[in-house]
Amino acid sequence: MPEVIRAEGRLDLVITPNQGRRINVSEHINATATITEQVHLTRRSMHYWRVTLDHPPVNIFGPEAIPQLNEVITALETDVEVKVVVFDSAVQGFFLTHYDFLAPIENTTRLPPGPTGLQPLPDMLVRLSRAPVVSIASIRGRATGVGSELALACDMRFASREKAILSHFEVGAGVVPGGGPMARLPRLMGRGRALEVLLGADDIHGDLAERYGYVNRSLPDSDLDTFVEALATRIASFDKRAISETKRFADVASLPPDFEIAPEWDVCFASIMRPAAQERIKKLLELGLHKPGDVENRLGHYVGRLG
Amino acid sequence: MPEVIRAEGRLDLVITPNQGRRINVSEHINATATITEQVHLTRRSMHYWRVTLDHPPVNIFGPEAIPQLNEVITALETDVEVKVVVFDSAVQGFFLTHYDFLAPIENTTRLPPGPTGLQPLPDMLVRLSRAPVVSIASIRGRATGVGSELALACDMRFASREKAILSHFEVGAGVVPGGGPMARLPRLMGRGRALEVLLGADDIHGDLAERYGYVNRSLPDSDLDTFVEALATRIASFDKRAISETKRFADVASLPPDFEIAPEWDVCFASIMRPAAQERIKKLLELGLHKPGDVENRLGHYVGRLG
Amino acid sequence: MPEVIRAEGRLDLVITPNQGRRINVSEHINATATITEQVHLTRRSMHYWRVTLDHPPVNIFGPEAIPQLNEVITALETDVEVKVVVFDSAVQGFFLTHYDFLAPIENTTRLPPGPTGLQPLPDMLVRLSRAPVVSIASIRGRATGVGSELALACDMRFASREKAILSHFEVGAGVVPGGGPMARLPRLMGRGRALEVLLGADDIHGDLAERYGYVNRSLPDSDLDTFVEALATRIASFDKRAISETKRFADVASLPPDFEIAPEWDVCFASIMRPAAQERIKKLLELGLHKPGDVENRLGHYVGRLG
């Protein structure tokens, strides 16, 4: 983690120390004041921010992270100085992985819709895509489910050739993905490859991700940070208005309409409640899902063994 | 050909023996009961079907194959168990090639529109794309004209690096393609490459097809069957409803509307009747079109020598 | 320059000799009769034309070239014989570069809209894309700003692997691009790579341009001319009506609507007038913009050092 530069921004997220970050979910629901910070905001400068996903051991994304990510997205939307933000991870092996299957489902479903009228997670993702800021996903480790959806909502994606794995495993678990990938993937890589990613539900490593257009480029792991840093620093030196106006025009040609994304979330949650998904998720949990180990590391392999 | 597994499905296509499959077209027009089966359906399991195109010597697609393919498409739409279908070929060197230029044109034009309101061939292709089943084209040999259109209507395409050739030769023969490629190709590979395929009208081999996104991947010929088999078996193990709901969302983002495809067919048939096409097709027939040999094998080369 | 073949076409552009082509801008404004020809039309045959961009030393595109290009576009729209046109450059190192920053802005803004209702430059570009003729950009040297926009308006793009550089440097100069790239690039290469090109504003060399789909293919420099010549000659042998009808269908699936392109131009000119752009352009001019040398050669590098 780089040193935190505290600019005179509106946001003041607490950067917690590394130890003791993981606490029991059942203890802290409704006790948001004590929830461990999983989404760190670091200001490299007024113009260039980093958002680091830090929920060890496997960077699962659950309902308690939603307000944290929302605070960051709101800051990106409203800060007048920020021009570029890089999303990365502090957890080895995981950029950001699937949604929390252990959190009570009401913790998610009771959250009110966001400003776009979408449910909170897709709401934040479409707002990130439209924010007047360049967003870059620097992907090292696994980006699956929500992790892939966050990466896809960013403006650009760069991946470690050796260490990045992108995927949508959900269909393999009986679940319809919910955070926009059916709307976003075909626009990025064409129908054929998008359907392979979604319906094959397998792990996509760095080089194939580049060939498919899932990421802008895959780079040797040792070059990834230098490349992303140079690009972000470069963009941070440009004029914010030229950036945001140019991006807004490209949005018209490239962003899916919200009404295409909206139903994905509802159908996703409906699918999770069905026996086909419940049985598969139960099997995955028995095999070791939600814990460090082979199932989380090779989720694509394991969903192929459930049916 | 694998052994046929007869499930308790509605469909009961006759799997004919390999010998004597080719009969004289003029003999069997209006004698549909005796038409040789060119479209074989094999059930590897309840969930995983194969459709094998088998019209030697060069796998031409003509009006007599339309009801055969239609029966398969209808089964894919309505069977409650099937999850994945692979289209392949039993004819060496040809996945599926161009439309039959020798069949009387009335044999095609007198066929009533299908359920979508489109003419039979484009009707079947758009229904295949929307069927609640994953369709995979396993391309070894030439996929040109209708062959490419069928591959493009499938959800995914995998090609033999050494033996696959994809193309739209039609413009080179004075003909406007008719089964949807102008609607599908630009969405798959972008305008520039789509126009090169359509207006250059040349043969595209496996590796270039992958670089252009014409196919998902090209694989060494010796790996193609294993790869496709593993993917199909994997998908067949997933939950059908999760598959079909996910696909339906992706359809919204990736399928051309039917009204874009509809006029292609009419304009295609109008173009065939024009002297420019008639002369070119006549020359191709004189050179050896419709017969095994160099013209069918290297159609892209030969259409470049007609003008 | 190849030998000029004078067909019995309507157009009769003067092909000027190579010497004395560059004249002082301040001298020839409002003296269009004496403006040096920067856009050469050569008819290789009735069916195959070349348009050569020739404004040494760095192939800047300015208001005085607009009527010249317009005459060519009009001819391509209306000539009944032409089937294919190749755009190339006679200036070493530059296919076509940015707009003229030294010409009085009124020389551009006073020009009336074209037949599409768009301002002249975007008007010509969308008309080129819709013309019933196959347009091919043969890119050797830098295609930046207007140069990239012209290439993107062509139906296909082929690049010298060693010598082609494509880019949109504009955002790096505080300027919003104006000739359609925000509408065209995402449709060609997906949102992520398009935003990298537009907002990273850096030079994209031949091979990366191919990987991104910015060009159809990059070819070894020694093969580029042979390849493009063969493709153009091939297309010129096809039937014009089959070409134009096929292209028109592909247009529906791939061209941005004019209303998406229209506002880019206005916002571009508004952005140029802002201090952020004026300061950056002034710095670039002091460093050597508009003159042969390192700034024009490596514009991507230099815009990264202005902020």
| pLDDT higher than 80, residue A25 | no
Nearest to C171 among A156, A188, A246 (CB): A246
Which of the residue ranges A127-136, A237-246, C39-48, C100-109 would you say has the lowest mean pLDDT?
C100-109
Cα atoms in the Cβ-side hemisphere of radius 13 Å centred on A213:
36
pLDDT of residue C9: 30
Distances (CA, A) of A129 to A44, A50, B69: 21, 16, 43
CB contact under 8 A, B171 and C242: yes
SS3 state of residue A128 = helix
CA-nearest of B155, B160, B149, B138 to B264 is: B149
User: What pLDDT digit, counting tens, does each position of A158-195 carry?
Assistant: 999 999 999 999 999 999 999 999 999 999 999 999 99
pTM given for the model: 0.90
* Separation of alpha carbons B200 and B205, rounded Å: 14
For C194-245, how does the pLDDT look when each residue is reduced to its tens digit (9 = 90+)? Answer: 999 999 999 999 999 999 999 999 999 999 999 999 999 999 999 999 999 9
Query: What is the rounded distance in angstroms from the CA atom of residue B189 to the CA atom of residue B194?
Result: 6
Interface of A with C in 193-212 (CB under 8 A): 210
CB contact under 8 A, A252 and C183: yes
CB of A246 within 8 Å of a chain C CB? The answer is yes
The residues near C190 (Cβ < 8 Å, ≥ 6 apart) are A187, A188, A189, A213, A254, C213
Q: Is C241 touching B (CB cutoff 8 A)?
A: yes
Give yes or no for a contact between B136 and B228, defined as CB atoms under 8 angstroms apart.
Answer: yes
From the list A192, A199, A213, the residue facing B243 with the nearest CB is A199
B213 part of contact set with chain A, CB < 8 Å:
yes
Is the distance from CB of C231 to CB of B162 less than 8 angstroms? Answer: no
Please give the structure tokens belonging to residue B156.
Answer: 């995914």
The sign of the dihedral angle between the CA atoms of C96, C97, C100, C102 is negative
**Which of A149, A167, A182 is the mutation pick for testing B, counting most B CBs within 10 A?**
A182
- pLDDT bucket at A254, cuts 50 / 70 / 90: very high
Q: Amino acid letter at C255?
A: L
The total of other beta-carbon atoms located within 10 Å of residue A18's CB is 9
DSSP H helices, chain B, are: 25-28, 66-78, 106-109, 120-130, 146-153, 181-195, 206-212, 221-236, 240-254, 258-273, 275-287, 294-297, 299-303
Closest alpha carbon to B163 in B128, B201, B215:
B215
Length of chain A: 307
- Are A82 and A133 a contacting pair, CB within 8 Å? yes
Minimum-distance CB partner of B231 among A184, A200, A260: A200
Mean pLDDT across chain C, nearest whole number? 90
Among B168, B182, B265, B272, most C C-beta atoms within 10 A, so best to mutate, is: B182
Give chains near B: 3+ CB pairs under 8 A.
A, C
Give how far C183 is from chain A: nearest CA, Å.
5
DSSP state at residue C2: P
Closest C-alpha to B129, from B244, B301, B10, B263: B244
Reading the block at residue B136, the tokens are: 């995979």
Q: What is the pLDDT of residue A35?
A: 62
**Nearest residue, CB atoms, B187 vs list C235, C237, C253:** C253
Torsional sign, CA B18, B20, B23, B27: negative
CB-based contacts of B239: which residues, under 8 Å, 6+ apart?
A: A171, A174, A274, A276, A277, A280, A307
Which residues, in sequence order, are CB contacts of B180 under 8 Å at separation 6+?
B122, B125, B126, B149, B152, B153, B256, B261, B264
Nearest to B213 among A190, A264, A306 (CB): A190
Using CA coordinates, name the residue in chain B closest to A193.
Answer: B216
Nearest CA in chain A to C185: A250
**What pLDDT, on a 0 to 100 scale, did the predictor assign at position B119?**
96
- Is the backbone peptide bond immediately before B17 cis, with ω within 30 degrees of 0? no
C183 touches chain A (CB under 8 A): yes
- Across-strand partners of B39? B53
Whether residue B57 is preceded by a cis peptide bond, meaning omega within 30 degrees of 0, is: yes
Instruction: Report the sign of the C-alpha dihedral through residues A234, A239, A240, A244, in that order.
Output: negative
Q: How far is A158 from chain C (nearest CA, A)?
A: 10
- With an 8 Å Cβ cutoff, is A257 touching chain C? no
The Cα of C211 is separated from the nearest Cα of chain A by a number of Å equal to 8
Chain A touched by C177 (CB under 8 Å): yes
Q: Is A59 left (phi over 0), alpha (psi -120 to 50) or beta?
A: left
CB contact (8 A) between residue C249 and residue B271: no
Mean local confidence (pLDDT), C251-272:
96
What residues of chain B lie within 8 A of the CB of C247, using their CB? 195, 198-199
Q: To probe the interface with C, which of B149, B170, B193, B199 has the most C CB atoms within 10 Å?
A: B199
CB atoms within 10 A of CB B37: 15
Closest by Cβ to C254, choosing from B194, B264, B274: B194
Nearest by CB: A192 against B157, B235, B241: B157
Q: Which residue has the higher pLDDT, B28 or A137?
A: A137
d(CA C149, CA C97): 10
- Taking an 8 Å cut-off on Cβ atoms, the answer to whether B183 and C249 are in contact is yes
Task: Check residue C36 and give its pLDDT.
Answer: 79
pLDDT score, position B35: 62
Give start and end residues of each alpha helix (H) in C112-215: 120-130, 146-153, 181-189, 191-195, 206-212
Q: What is the pLDDT of residue A18?
A: 32
Helices (H), C114-255: 120-130, 146-153, 181-189, 191-195, 206-212, 221-236, 240-254
Contact list in C for residue B274 (CB cut-off 8 A) is 239, 241
The shortest CB-CB distance from A174 to any of B155, B188, B239 is to B239
A280 and chain B: CB distance < 8 Å anywhere?
A: yes
Q: Do A250 and C195 touch (CB under 8 A)?
A: yes
Q: Tell which residue, A49, A96, A45, A99, has the closest CA to residue A74.
A: A49
Does B282 touch chain C if contact means CB atoms closer than 8 Å? no
Question: Poorest-confidence range of A110-119, B65-74, B268-277, C34-43?
Answer: C34-43
What average pLDDT does the segment C267-282 reach? 97
Mutate to test the interface with B, among A176, A204, A205 (most CBs of B within 10 A): A176
What local confidence, expressed as pLDDT, does residue C35 receive? 62
- Residues B267 and C164: their CA atoms lie apart, in Å, by 38
Q: Which residue did the predictor score with more confidence, A20 or B289? A: B289
Contact A245 C199 (CB under 8 A): no
Does B43 or A10 have the greater pLDDT score? Answer: B43
Query: What's at C49, amino acid-wise?
Result: W
Distance in angstroms (rounded) separating the CA atoms of residues B13 and B9? 11
Best B149, B152, B169, B176 residue to mutate vs chain C (most C CBs within 10 Å): B176
- Which residue among C184, C186, C199 places its CB closest to the CB of A235? C199
CA distance C66 to C46: 24
pLDDT tens profile A198-236 = 999 999 999 999 999 999 999 999 999 999 999 999 999
- CA–CA min distance C20, chain A (Å): 38
Coil/strand/helix, residue C212: helix
Q: How distant is the Cα of B181 from the closest Cα of chain C, in angstroms? A: 8
pLDDT of A24 higher than 70: no
| Residue C25, φ and ψ in degrees, nearest 5 | -60, -45
Minimal C-alpha gap between A194 and chain C (Å): 12
Test C155 with B193 for CB contact under 8 angstroms: no
Nearest CA-CA distance, residue C243 and chain A, Å: 25
Pick the closest to residue B154 from B88, B212, B243, B252 (CA basis).
B88
- Give pLDDT, residue B20: 32
Residues of chain B scoring pLDDT < 50: 1-33
Task: Tell me which residue in C215, C241, C250 faces B194 most closely, judged by beta carbons.
Answer: C250
Mean pLDDT for A273-296 is: 97
Q: Smallest Cβ distance to A304: which of B216, B237, B253?
A: B237
Contact C188 B183 (CB under 8 A): no
Q: Dump strand ranges (E) for chain A.
A: 39-43, 48-53, 84-89, 94-96, 134-144, 156-167, 204-205, 217-219
* List of residues 6+ apart from C278 with CB closer than 8 A: C174, C272
Rounded Cα distance, A115 and A70, in Å: 11
Question: What residues 110-149 of chain C have any CB closer than 8 A to a CB of chain A?
Answer: none
Phi, psi for B170 (deg, rounded to 5): -55, -50
Helices B66-78, B120-130: axis angle to 10 degrees equals 20
Angle at C242 between CA C239 and CA C247, to 5 degrees: 125
Residue B24's pLDDT is what?
35
User: For all residues of chain A together, what is the average pLDDT?
Assistant: 90
Sign of torsion, CA B53 B55 B57 B61? negative
Residue C162, chain A, CB below 8 Å: the answer is no
Q: What is the interface pTM, i.e. ipTM, of the complex?
A: 0.90
pLDDT at position A277 is: 98
